[in-house]
Structure 1
Amino acid sequence: MQSVRRSSRLTRNNNAANRSTPAPETAGSSSRKNPRKSSQRRIRCTPPPEDSEPEVESLSEENSSEDEEDMQEEILPKETRYENSRSAFQTLNQEKPDLLRPSKRPLSARFMTQGARERYVNLKPRQFIHQQRLSLTDKDLQDVKKVVADAGLLYTVCDSDSFQPSVVREFIANLGDAEPRGDGVAVYVRGSLVEFSPSLINTMYCIPQLEEDSSWVNENLDKVCTLLSGNRIKRGEDMSSKYLTVTNQVLYKLVCSNWIPTMSYTAMNAERLRFVYMLYHRRGFNFGKIVYNQILKMAENTETEKKRRIILPTLIQQVILIQRNIPPDTSDEAESDFPKLVVKDKKAGLASGAESKEPNLEEDIDQAITFLKGIRRRLRSKMFLRGEYGLSPYLMVFVLMCISAGGEYPHQRENEDTKSEDTESG
């Protein structure tokens, strides 16, 4: 049964390949349940049609290996996609040469205006947050690959390019003078304009267009942490990187490098945790819009945020390369290394001692009352502060609250002194 289905699939793929199409067709993953389309006219990266006949599930290793082969076969190489895309852009630009020319005369071949040149100077000393890539052949990372592929983001972590630091900085510097075009802008890069938009980014990574569901940004954090910690953490405030499961630890790394970049890999940011949670539930989200807005915001703050690193340099380089080639800049800086492979942390998910309880309003109120009573008792016992240091009652309360916040709650210390059996912690 399996061989018949596989033969049928190969026959359809061969027939589709023999047809002449204006642009290539690809698929992000064979594990998607619903066929999805990309609306970008430049490059078509739509998945092949699903099998019409019902598939018979099998638990055999042979069936699993064939499924992995299918996924590998359906991934169109980056070079092929880029070559077809550049050809399409070249044809369009020949028909409409005005698309390459800015509306105003540029200052030089590198900068649109003097303001762009000044922004470049501010960007010059800033370092980069290097993106990471996911190995598609590493059997130890198949669980991560499945989650990423099901969410439609596989090409964002398997495409890898070295980037030219000077070109990336020039792109960001010229963003301030970019001209509106479609759902994005046209940016001046090395003598001509290139398109930059959410739809172009989605098309570049073969991300299907879905109806956007932005509710994921407000997902209950307690529920998010429960899933990502393997049910060991019930409350968001108890979450720590050591409680992430091994799979989610890798996914969180990818969020911090390729999707919502930061250098704080161990800091549990609510937005990034919710993003990983959303990947599992396959909600409609506009990836292109997410990263597009981040890059625009970075470009707006080149002068005020001088110590912040430059994000998504590989993506920016790829946006340019998918439209035209950029000659190596031997007079300036050498190209950076390729994105490094993301790996699993052997110590991830092994933390013990998680004592996280599900949120309970009555317990939280009782805990707050106990905490305040403890402050009152400590305030009464330390009234000498007012006479000795001349502190007002309000300032004494503030000092004691700071002391309490830095250590144990007052009722905990009192319980230890009296050797009480009630050891509930706040």
Structure 2
Amino acid sequence: MQPLRRSSRLTRNTNSAHLSTQVPETAVSSSRKISRKSSQRRIRCTPPPEDSEPEVESLSKENSSEEEEDMQQEILPKETRYENSRTAFQGLYQEKLDLLRPSKKHMSARFMTQGARERYVSLKPRKFIHQQRLSLSDKNLQDVKKVVADAGLLYMVCDSDSFQPSIVREFVANLGDAEPWGDGVAVYVRGSLIEFSPSLINTMYCIPRCEEDSSWMNEKLDKVCTLLSGNRIKRWEDMSSKYLTVTNQVLYKLVCSNWIPTMSYTAMNAERLRFIYMLHLRKGFNFGKIIYHQILRMAENTETEKKRRIILPTLIQQVILIQRTVPPDNSDEAESDFPKLVIKDKKAGLGSGADSKEPNLEEDIDQAITFLKGIRSRLRSKMSLRGKCVFDHYLMVFVLMCISAGGEYPLQREDEDTESG
């Protein structure tokens, strides 16, 4: 993602296709005018200030005054954006009420089908992975704020809402019966449909459009670890959370809570490290698509992964609130607290004992062979002749794999996530 001035990056044409994909051209001319005007007002926004404390000096001194001027001119608080967006949706729905109604008969005001009700029962005992927020006025976090802002994700970590657990669980339970809608789906929530799509997520958080570059997902991990550790770690096998720089330690917390959620805040995961690497390099990506597919996968696996926590509850609540208010229900649980502020760990980046060198394929193959020969010598006396031949065969296969990999070792360590907490 190429760095741009904040004003040009956030002032863009509205992605209003998600408001009108189901409506014929001749039926919604007046509603489109309402939608277009409201959307254009909504997208001209920069992160709202957290409190009355003045904005701190930008890390880039030569652009600081320009950045502050843009910030003052383009601030649009969350409540204003929500109001404008709901007005646009209401104008559309007044012209086309069928957009609010599911194509099939629903079972009740809360559940589309009996299957959705059963999924809700399965979700009822599950806990949530709570999202975190970034203070915009904390001088100690300006380095983190700059990386996130340059990547266009600042609204994702500064918009703060509590969430209603029962509403979020109902949304996830009804996702299994969602209907196609534009580039996403329409989900049944408390009597009517709610749009859920990548384009809506991107518009909601003022995320700029860009040409997507999926190459970041294949970035070599040794290169990623070198950057994120401040050039101390050269190999993925040596990587540990204690070697992340202070800035990247906070970013990893945000990845684990707001972008690719997990309860394993210290386990080094290749996808999450690559995500931070991509933020630093500002490579193009479709953030809405990343979030959208994670939530869909969670909904699809409610029966098989019963210990996993519910991810991104604040985002799900905001997806609903930006379209309409939700009528309360006697079964509703008390709202959660607001997302907690992410903080810097005083011990971050202070890991000692780093002894990492550039990868060397021949040395690693020799070490692997020596290691496997040690195992072989201990096991040969306990194995049958057939077992010895099988083991020798797999040893040879491993060596050939290492040679053909050209440096991408098949036994790279990747800690398993523990989502259940």
| TM-score, length basis structure 1 | 0.77
* CA-CA distance at 1:217 after TM superposition: 0.6
- The separation in 1 between residues aligned to 2:88 and 2:112, in whole angstroms, is 26
Question: 1:40: how far off?
Answer: 1.2
1:40 aligns with 2:32: no
Distance in 1 (alpha carbons) for counterparts of 2:276 and 2:353:
24
Distance 1:113 1:373, change over 3 A: closer
2:120 alignment counterpart: 120
Provide the identity percentage.
Answer: 80
Where in structure 2 are the equivalents of 1:410-425 lying within 5 Å?
none
Query: Partner of 1:219 in structure 2?
Result: 219
Contact 1:256-1:264 at 8 Å conserved across structures = yes
Structure 1 residue matching 2:193: 3-state secondary structure: strand
Contact 2:217 2:274 in 1 (8 A): yes
Deviation at 1:74?
A: 3.1
Q: 2:273 is matched with which residue?
A: 273
* Residue in structure 2 matched with residue 392 of structure 1 by the alignment: 384
1:14-53 correspondence to structure 2 within 5 Å = 30=5, 37-41=12-16, 43-44=39-40, 45-46=42-43
Shift, 1:397, TM fit = 10
The SS at the match of 1:212 is coil
Equivalent pair of 1:29/1:74 in contact (CA under 8 Å): no
* 3-state secondary structure, aligned to 1:337: coil
Tell me, what secondary structure is at the counterpart of 1:110? coil
**1:257 corresponds to which residue?**
257
Distance 2:60 2:186 in 1: 51
Which SS does the other structure have where 1:172 is aligned?
helix
Match of 2:345 in 1: 345
TM-score for the superposition, normalised by structure 2: 0.78
Sort the Cα spacing of 1:35 and 1:394 in 2 relative to 1 into closer, same or farther, 3 A.
same
Partner amino acid, structure 2, of 1:287: F
* 1:181-260 aligned within 5 A: 181-260=181-260
User: Deviation at 1:62?
Assistant: 9.9
Larger radius of gyration: 1
Secondary structure, counterpart of 2:305 in structure 1? coil
Q: Write out aligned runs for 1:3-402 (5 A).
A: 30=5, 37-41=12-16, 43-44=39-40, 45-46=42-43, 64=64, 67-68=67-68, 70-71=70-71, 74-329=74-329, 331-375=331-375, 378-379=377-378, 386=382, 391-392=383-384
2:28 counterpart residue number: none
Deviations 1:291-334 (A, max 9, x none): 10011111111111111000000010000000001134454310
| Cα contact 1:221–1:236 (8 A) shared by 2 | yes
Task: Judge which range, 316-325 or 364-373, deviates more.
Answer: 364-373
Q: Any idea what the Cα deviations from partners look like across 1:242-296, whole Å, max 9, x if unmatched?
A: 1010100110111100111001111111000000000011111011000100111
Deviations 1:170-194 (A, max 9, x none): 1111111111010011111001111
Q: Hey, what's the Cα distance between the residues in 2 that align with 1:353 and 1:257?
A: 29
Residue identity opposite 1:80 in structure 2: T
Gaps of 5+ in 2: 17-34, 46-57, 392-421
Q: Distance in 2 between matches of 1:35 and 1:106?
A: 39
Are the structure 2 counterparts of residues 60 and 347 from structure 1 closer, same or farther at C-alpha, using a change threshold of 3 Å?
A: closer
Retained in 2: the 8 A contact 1:29–1:152?
no
Q: Is the 8 A contact 1:132 1:257 kept in 2?
A: yes
